[in-house]
Amino acid sequence: TEPLVEIRNLRTHFFTDDGVVKAVEGVDLDIFANRTLCILGESGCGKSIMARSILRIVDAPGKIVDGSIIYHNATGQSVDLARARNGSRQLRDIRGQDIAMIFQEPMSSLGPIQKIGRQITETILLHRKVTKAEAKEIAIDLLDRVGIPQPARRFDSYPFELSGGMRQRAMIAMALSCQPRLLIADEPTTALDVTTQAQILDLIAELKEELQMGVMLITHDLGVVAEVAGDVAVMYMGKVVEKGDVFSIFEAPQHPYTRALLESVPRMGGGRRDRLPAIRGMVPHPLARPSGCTFRTRCDHAMAGICDRSEPVLTPAGETQAACFLHITEMTDD
C-alpha cells in the first residue's frame, strides 16, 4: 500500500547567532494509514522539529533547507508540504483538515477563554458542511467518544474547569473533529498519570482503527512505544539511526544506540518510564556535531578511521534498517 506521507532527505536547520543547528538532518520516513509510527528519542534529538516540519509550523530561525514531504491526499493528488507556499490555502486546508496535531500541553491548542464545546463546534463548522445544531451534536458525540463524562454538560465547560487528563481528551476531540487522515501526537501523555496515559493511548489506537487514520506518535518513553507502535524510528541528533517494526526493534535491535536504550530499561514496574535511562557520555552540543557517525562519541563499538570518516546511512540489518558501519560490510572490506 502507498504511504500517506513520504518524507525524503528532510533537513530542518536553525540559523542561530552562534551557528547552524542541524535539528533534522536527512530524515527518510513513510507514514501509513491505519498504522502507528513511533518516533523514539531523547529530548533534543529533533523529533518534535521533524513533526512540526510536516505541518510547516517550525518557528524561526528554523527553516526546511532540503528534502521533500510528499502527502498523498484523499483524491489521489500529491502535495510536497516542504515546498507548499506558507500561508497558502492548500497548506491551511491540509493542516486543519487532513493532518491534525496534538501536543503535550493541551492549552497550546485549546483557547483558554472559550468553552470547550464552542471551540470544537467552530472547527467542525469551518471544515464540514453541517448546520450549527448538527455541529453541536457531533461535538458532544466526540466528547463522549474521548471518554469525557457527561459530555452535554462538559460542552459548556471552560478548559480551566477540566483536569489535565480531561483537557487532553478535549484536545484530542478537537483534533479529531475534522476526521484527519493523519494524527501527529507529540508526547501526548507525558504530563499525565499512568492510568490516564494508558486510557489516552487506548483511545488513540481505537480511533486509528475506526478512522483508518495514520498516527505518528513522538515519545521518549519505551513503555509507550511497546504499547502502541506498529513501526518505530529511533532518532539521534537529527537523524533516524534505526527503523523497523516494533517487534524487530525490541527483539533484535541492530544499532548500538537502540541497543543501549533497550538494555538499560528496568524490566518490570520500574516506575521510571518517564525518562530514558542514561547512556555512557552525553549528547554532544548541537553546534558541535561529531564528524562521521554522530553517535561515535558514545559508542562502545566505534572504529577509528571508519566511524569518524563518513556518515553511515540506513542499511538493511537483521530485520530492521540501521545506520551503522557494523552493518555495512562493503565499507569495512575496502
b/e sequence 215-230, b meaning 16+ C-beta within 10 Å: bbbbbbbbbbbebbbb
Pairing of strands 78-80, 214-219: unpaired
Q: Does residue 35 sit in helix, strand or coil?
A: coil
Beta bridge partners of 38: 217, 232
Q: How far is the CB of 223 from ligand SF4 (least distance, A)?
A: 25
- Please give the residues from 240 up to 269 whose contact with ligand SF4 meets the rule CB under 6 A: 256
Q: Three cell numbers at 37?
A: 509510527
Interface with ligand SF4 includes 307 (CB under 6 A)? yes
Q: How many residues bind ligand SF4 (CB under 6 A)?
A: 13
- Please give the residues from 36 up to 75 whose contact with Mg ion meets the rule CB under 5 A: 48
* Residue pointed to by grid coordinates 486509528: 208
Q: How far apart are CA 190 and CA 213, in angstroms?
A: 22
Q: Please say which residue, 102 or 293, places its beta carbon nearer to ligand SF4.
A: 293
∠ CA 42-44-50, nearest 5°, is 100
Interface with ligand SF4 includes 234 (CB under 6 A)? no
Q: How far is the CB of 240 from ligand SF4 (least distance, A)?
A: 13
Q: How far apart are CA 121 and CA 257, in angstroms?
A: 45
Interacting partner of 38 out of Mg ion, ligand SF4, none (Cβ under 5 to 8 A depending on kind): none
Q: Which window, 106-114, 150-158, 232-240, 302-310, contacts ligand SF4 (CB under 6 A)?
A: 302-310
Interacting partner of 83 out of Mg ion, ligand SF4, none (Cβ under 5 to 8 A depending on kind): none
Q: Which window, 17-25, 226-234, 274-282, 321-329, contacts ligand SF4 (CB under 6 A)?
A: 321-329
Interacting partner of 296 out of ligand SF4, Mg ion, none (Cβ under 5 to 8 A depending on kind): ligand SF4
**For ligand SF4, which residue of 11, 312, 314, 321 counts as binding (CB under 6 A)?**
312
Q: Which amino acid, one-letter code, is at 157?
A: S
Q: Residue 53: in which H helix or E strand, if any?
A: helix 47-55
Interface with Mg ion includes 119 (CB under 5 A)? no
Q: Which amino acid, one-letter code, is at 66?
A: D
- Give 333's contacts (C-beta < 8 A, 6+ positions apart): none
Q: How far is the CB of 334 from ligand SF4 (least distance, A)?
A: 15
Give me the residues that bind ligand SF4 (CB under 6 A), please: 256, 293, 295-296, 299, 301-303, 307, 312, 324-326
